[in-house]
Chains A and B, each alone.
Chain A
Amino acid sequence: MLRDDIPGFPELGELEVLRHFTRLSHLNYDIESQFYPLGSCTMKYNPKVNEAVARLPGFSLLHPLAPPELIQGALELLYELEGMLAEIGGMDRVTLQPAAGAQGELTGLMVIRACLGERGNPRRKIIVPDTAHGTNPASSTLCGYDVVQISSNNRGMVEAGKVEEVMDDEVAALMLTNPNTLGIFEKNIQAVADVVHKKGGMVYLDGANLNALMGIAKPGDMGVDVLHINLHKTFSTPHGGGGPGAGPVGVKGFLEDYLPVPRVVKSGGNFQLQEELPKSVGRVRSFFGNFGILVRAYTYIISLGGDGLEETSRMAVLNANYLRKKLEGAYHLPYPEPCMHECVFTDRLQHKEGVTTLDIAKRLLDYGFHPPTIYFPLVVSGALMIEPTETENRETLDAFAEAMSAIAREAKENPALVKSAPHTTPVGRLDEVRAARKPLLRWEPANKEGNRQ
């Protein structure tokens, strides 16, 4: 039953370990060093006070199965955060359990399915626009639905007429992102929602782009029934190189009974856990979700307050429109609509020299900037999706615009320079085909000449 050894496991001094990881850290790019304009990712400043607070032993050393009366501070925080997010999103009730945006999507769709099932037919289909994040269709499948894709119009928006064409009584919901992934506000959203509601379907809003909306327009007023929120985007929790985040879900009152258990309820001055709710979809994650992330988001919200959150969205939109203006001309702008918190350009003007979006992205690394999100949304050929966020100042935006303009010039004058970029990074372009064809997914003593990991 017992093993003798963990073959291959390291035997190192603590200093060796620290040197190793410090060296690795130098190979990374991060927000505190430079501008990180990844579209739809909201790479804003992650405030230091959030980190300090999350490390208080009264939060970091809590056990989830301690009796509720001994974790009243934590339950109060959860209860209040639900209320704050409901207010920001214009929703009635919120669950904090989903561990990430995609799990929030799955949870929201399960809630819709449970409600429709109780009405007699859970239905078969989910409508997803072609501009949607890939998680939307993947979550739909995992919830047992077929995906019906619809295209956006030539102004980058979903049209009520288009939805009407595919909307029938087997459609459970429409999943929409607003502002959409082109950074454009879906002006017709209420008309679209009417079409869906008229046929008994529900409207799901992917809240990935909520950073554009605080104090500007509430999803709950747009006809949205279910909304997920990415705390690692709008609410400043760090991305961590790919998580952990959190994906709370807000719903309108008629869907409350279907939210995951347990629910935190207030009774008298105390907070209790409600475990038995017969209509609930059940549990989607163990315990209370990513509590440490919820603490950070709560800290952020009380730090900024209502006014500060509204200013956040205003400045995020100002920054994006400013960059959009500065880059017009140098790059092709596929949609002339005013943008919200992000804008999308393409490589069309550079294409005749053979320079692509990938080349532009890699050349930006030489200028010390992280590239925008590239080749997304899929409806735009060679997309460069830029989201500056509100925490960047004008000088930084100007410097980025200058670098982009310089690359546009290089693309004309010296395309080879751009096409062979990056030239200054720790490694050059990596052979991804080789990685996939002969996967080496772990270090093994046999396949290296004594290399230690």
Chain B
Amino acid sequence: MRYTPHTAADKEQMLRTIGLTRIEQLFDHIPAPLRERASVSLPAGLTEVQVKRRMGALAARNATPEGWHFFLGGGIYHHAIPSAVDAVISRSEFSTSYTPYQPEVSQGTLQAIYEYQTLLCQLTGMEVSNAGLYDGASAAAEAVLMARRLQPEGRRRVLLSRALHPQYRAVVSTYLKNLGDVELMEVPFDRSGGTDINALTKSADEKTMCVVVGYPNFFGVVEDLAPIQAACARAGALLVTVTTEPLSLALLQPPGAWAADIAVGEGQGLGVPMALGGPGFGFFTCQKKSVRSLPGRLVGETVDHEGRRGFVLTLSTREQHIRREKATSNICTSQSLCVLAATVFMSTLGKNGMRRLAEVNVNRAHETQERLAREAGVAPVFSGPFFNEFVVNVKGLARRQGRFSAEKILPGIPLARWYPELSDSLLICVTEMNEQEEIEHLVRALSGN
């Protein structure tokens, strides 16, 4: 296929206007040795029919919830997405437009982001939300970097809960190691599956920059933020919460209610397809007093010269295109189209729909956990409260994978690769997408040895 519209006559006339006769002359100034080796050795282009066949064949070699009994979560969630969401984000006015640097012709994008910022503040109970970051993991890293800007140089130790998503901990570590002055310290979890409060309280002191915990955490457990916040307050450390399943906040007391200083997470669960884990978006919220240390874009309300209400990108002096090496972050995107999907999703479901959906998730997950214990003899590993994910112990888990595949079931995520101490542990996620029949399959598949 070709997306270049030039006819032979166009080319000729354009070259004549430029004062040339051959296309090649456009490149006369490029060193000849570079020109000689430049050809792109890839197969010839395909027709649209051929492209669709080839891509269809690749797509067919992947397991999806359409053909499998599906219980995977662990940071990426399978939720129902109203058709209205894709209808809106497929509009070329949203999908093909650029970053709204020209506000007069970008009010659609700008107002949608403003509404997103509003909804995220309401959902998290925080005062300020930015326009979006790459993903939950880099949002966690940016949160720690923001804590570094807010805290004095004497405080450079970060307490990371071991129950925080392992990939998030890995990204935080990657982002911080080159700065040289930040020390990461892991805080263990206890038998509830939550962060060990005693260990945390002992470790938090006058050197602590911030404490980072999952809410709910990687095991699906809803951390008790009250004692964690108290430990932070006593030590003068900032509290950072990280949420991988934002739907949970429709039901749980939000991070803002626990006086979190920074609340971040992954937004995929709000209307964005799983797509092998990306693109989704990172959400990032904080309190008003620290807004000038915030990374990423912000949209603000203002008026035009005739007093009409309008929206602009604002407080840009924090950002790389103005501040260059002194910027709060190098980020230059806000995953805007995914953020729009979340805005449409939250607006369509509304306060009652979000709550009902969250309740269905909680109820099905709890019912499944109970049935597994009662009917399959599969016991929960942790005692803490959970939202739509929980960990169970499955005897001989590793050797049973083959049978799971034969039965076309993806029963959960084995945890041993990140937690050697949790061998035979399986993280199971149950959402509104899992009907009774599917849950029965799960119970049967995990029964016996």
CB-defined contacts of B273 to chain A, threshold 8 Å: 60-61, 292
Q: Is the CB of B26 within 8 A of A18?
A: no
Q: Is the CB of A238 within 8 A of B254?
A: no
Contacts A31-B96, A134-B324; is A430 near B45 (CB within 8 Å)?
A: no
CB-defined contacts of A1 to chain B, threshold 8 Å: 222, 252-253, 385
Q: Is the CB of A286 within 8 A of B300?
A: no
CB-defined contacts of A305 to chain B, threshold 8 Å: 42-46
CB-defined contacts of A88 to chain B, threshold 8 Å: 40, 42
CB-defined contacts of B137 to chain A, threshold 8 Å: 283, 285-286
- Counting contact residues on chain A (CB < 8 A from B), the size range is 35 or more
Q: Is the CB of A61 within 8 A of B250?
A: no
New A-B contacts (14) at CB < 8 Å, excluding given A141-B325, A218-B38, A365-B102: A21-B88, A28-B107, A61-B65, A63-B70, A64-B76, A69-B405, A102-B330, A141-B326, A216-B30, A283-B137, A314-B23, A322-B17, A394-B14, A435-B312
Q: Mark A48-67, 1 if CB is under 8 A from B, else 0.
A: 01011111111111111111
B78–chain A nearest beta-carbon distance, Å: 7
Q: Is the CB of B350 within 8 A of A24?
A: no
Kindly identify which residue among B3, B99, B298 contacts A239, using a CB–CB cutoff of 8 Å.
B99
CB-defined contacts of B1 to chain A, threshold 8 Å: 47, 49, 303-304, 308
Q: How far is the CA of A238 from the CA of B336 in the complex (A)?
A: 11
Residues A237-275 near B (CB distance < 8 A): 238-245, 260, 275
Q: Is the CB of B333 within 8 A of A288?
A: no
Q: Is the CB of A441 within 8 A of B299?
A: yes
Q: In the complex, identify which listed stretch (A142-150, A163-171, A195-203, A405-413) lies at the interface while the others stay far away.
A: A142-150
Q: Is the CB of A221 within 8 A of B108?
A: no
Q: Is the CB of B58 within 8 A of A292?
A: no
Q: Mark A284-317, 1 if CB is under 8 A from B, else 0.
A: 1111111111010001011111111111101101
Kindly identify which residue among A371, A430, A441 contacts B291, using a CB–CB cutoff of 8 Å.
A441
Kindly identify which residue among B43, B63, B276 contacts A64, using a CB–CB cutoff of 8 Å.
B276
**In the complex, B5 has a CB within 8 A of chain A:** yes
| CB closest residue in chain A, given B70 | A63
| CB closest residue in chain B, given A366 | B104
Q: In the complex, identify which listed stretch (B123-131, B205-213, B438-446) lies at the interface while the others stay far away.
A: B123-131
**In the complex, B290 has a CB within 8 A of chain A:** no
Q: Is the CB of A282 within 8 A of B170?
A: yes
Q: How far is the CA of A376 from the CA of B63 in the complex (A)?
A: 46
Q: Is the CB of B167 within 8 A of A283?
A: yes
**In the complex, B184 has a CB within 8 A of chain A:** no
Q: Mark B23-35, 1 if CB is under 8 A from A, else 0.
A: 1001111110111
Contacts A17-B347, A31-B96, A60-B274; is A70 near B405 (CB within 8 Å)?
A: yes
Contacts A238-B95, A311-B2; is A306 near B276 (CB within 8 Å)?
A: no
Residues A138-194 near B (CB distance < 8 A): 138-144, 147, 185, 187, 190
- Counting contact residues on chain B (CB < 8 A from A), the size range is 35 or more
**In the complex, B214 has a CB within 8 A of chain A:** no
B153–chain A nearest beta-carbon distance, Å: 16
Residue in A46, A61, A303 whose Cβ sees the most chain B Cβ within 10 Å = A61
Q: Is the CB of A134 within 8 A of B320?
A: yes
Q: Is the CB of A318 within 8 A of B15?
A: yes
Q: Is the CB of B325 within 8 A of A137?
A: yes
**In the complex, A446 has a CB within 8 A of chain B:** no
Residue in B5, B132, B137, B171 whose Cβ sees the most chain A Cβ within 10 Å = B5
Q: How far is the CA of A59 from the CA of B311 in the complex (A)?
A: 35
Q: Mark A353-382, 1 if CB is under 8 A from B, else 0.
A: 000000001100100001100001000000
Can you list 22 A-B pairs with a CB-CB distance of less than 8 A? A17-B348, A25-B94, A27-B111, A28-B93, A53-B55, A57-B64, A63-B277, A63-B410, A65-B72, A65-B74, A73-B57, A99-B279, A135-B332, A141-B327, A243-B333, A245-B333, A304-B45, A314-B23, A391-B4, A428-B306, A434-B302, A436-B300
Q: Is the CB of B35 within 8 A of A442?
A: no
CB-defined contacts of A113 to chain B, threshold 8 Å: 178
Q: Mark B370-402, 1 if CB is under 8 A from A, else 0.
A: 000000000000000100000000000000010
Q: Is the CB of A63 within 8 A of B76?
A: yes
Q: Mark A109-129, 1 if CB is under 8 A from B, else 0.
A: 010010000000010000000
Q: Is the CB of A14 within 8 A of B55?
A: no
CB-defined contacts of B311 to chain A, threshold 8 Å: 430
A222–chain B nearest beta-carbon distance, Å: 7
CB-defined contacts of A147 to chain B, threshold 8 Å: 324-325
CB-defined contacts of B227 to chain A, threshold 8 Å: none
Q: How far is the CA of A315 from the CA of B3 in the complex (A)?
A: 10
Q: Is the CB of B62 within 8 A of A110?
A: no
The 8 residue pairs across chains A and B that have the minimum distance between CB atoms = A58-B59, A287-B277, A240-B337, A305-B45, A73-B61, A64-B277, A244-B279, A243-B333
B17–chain A nearest beta-carbon distance, Å: 5
**In the complex, A217 has a CB within 8 A of chain B:** yes
Q: Is the CB of A309 within 8 A of B42?
A: yes
Contacts A28-B94, A38-B98; is A302 near B138 (CB within 8 Å)?
A: no
Contacts A61-B273, A239-B96, A430-B303; is A284 near B58 (CB within 8 Å)?
A: no
Kindly identify which residue among B55, B78, B344, B401 contacts A67, using a CB–CB cutoff of 8 Å.
B401
**In the complex, B186 has a CB within 8 A of chain A:** no
CB-defined contacts of B29 to chain A, threshold 8 Å: 185, 187, 337-338
| CB closest residue in chain A, given B6 | A315
**In the complex, A400 has a CB within 8 A of chain B:** no
Q: How far is the CA of A77 from the CA of B324 in the complex (A)?
A: 36
Contacts A338-B26, A431-B305; is A59 near B59 (CB within 8 Å)?
A: yes
**In the complex, B168 has a CB within 8 A of chain A:** yes
Q: Is the CB of B337 within 8 A of A243?
A: yes
**In the complex, A8 has a CB within 8 A of chain B:** yes
Kindly identify which residue among A27, A290, A311, A422 contacts B278, using a CB–CB cutoff of 8 Å.
A290
Q: Mark B131-152, 1 if CB is under 8 A from A, else 0.
A: 1101111100000010000000
CB-defined contacts of A370 to chain B, threshold 8 Å: 98, 102, 105
Contacts A99-B135, A432-B312, A435-B312; is A26 near B40 (CB within 8 Å)?
A: no
**In the complex, B235 has a CB within 8 A of chain A:** no
Kindly identify which residue among B97, B135, B322, B326 contacts A28, using a CB–CB cutoff of 8 Å.
B97
Residue in B43, B82, B322 whose Cβ sees the most chain A Cβ within 10 Å = B43
Q: Is the CB of B42 within 8 A of A301?
A: yes
**In the complex, B84 has a CB within 8 A of chain A:** yes
Q: Is the CB of A242 within 8 A of B336?
A: yes
A269–chain B nearest beta-carbon distance, Å: 11
Q: Is the CB of B96 within 8 A of A292?
A: no
Q: Is the CB of B40 within 8 A of A214?
A: yes
Q: Mark B203-239, 1 if CB is under 8 A from A, else 0.
A: 0000000000000000000100000000000000000
Residues A398-443 near B (CB distance < 8 A): 422, 425-432, 434-436, 439-443
**In the complex, B175 has a CB within 8 A of chain A:** yes
Q: How far is the CA of A106 from the CA of B176 in the complex (A)?
A: 12
Q: How far is the CA of A128 from the CA of B419 in the complex (A)?
A: 42
Residue in B41, B87, B102, B298 whose Cβ sees the most chain A Cβ within 10 Å = B102
Q: Is the CB of A216 within 8 A of B38?
A: yes
Contacts A2-B252, A287-B76, A428-B305; is A216 near B35 (CB within 8 Å)?
A: yes
Q: Is the CB of A287 within 8 A of B62?
A: no
Kindly identify which residue among B78, B118, B165, B276 contacts A291, using a CB–CB cutoff of 8 Å.
B276
CB-defined contacts of A429 to chain B, threshold 8 Å: 104, 304-305
**In the complex, A326 has a CB within 8 A of chain B:** yes
CB-defined contacts of A376 to chain B, threshold 8 Å: 321
**In the complex, B156 has a CB within 8 A of chain A:** no
CB-defined contacts of A135 to chain B, threshold 8 Å: 320-321, 330, 332
Q: Is the CB of A442 within 8 A of B320?
A: no
Q: Is the CB of B4 within 8 A of A311?
A: yes
Q: How far is the CA of A23 from the CA of B338 in the complex (A)?
A: 19
CB-defined contacts of A362 to chain B, threshold 8 Å: 104
Q: Is the CB of B167 within 8 A of A286?
A: yes
**In the complex, B180 has a CB within 8 A of chain A:** yes
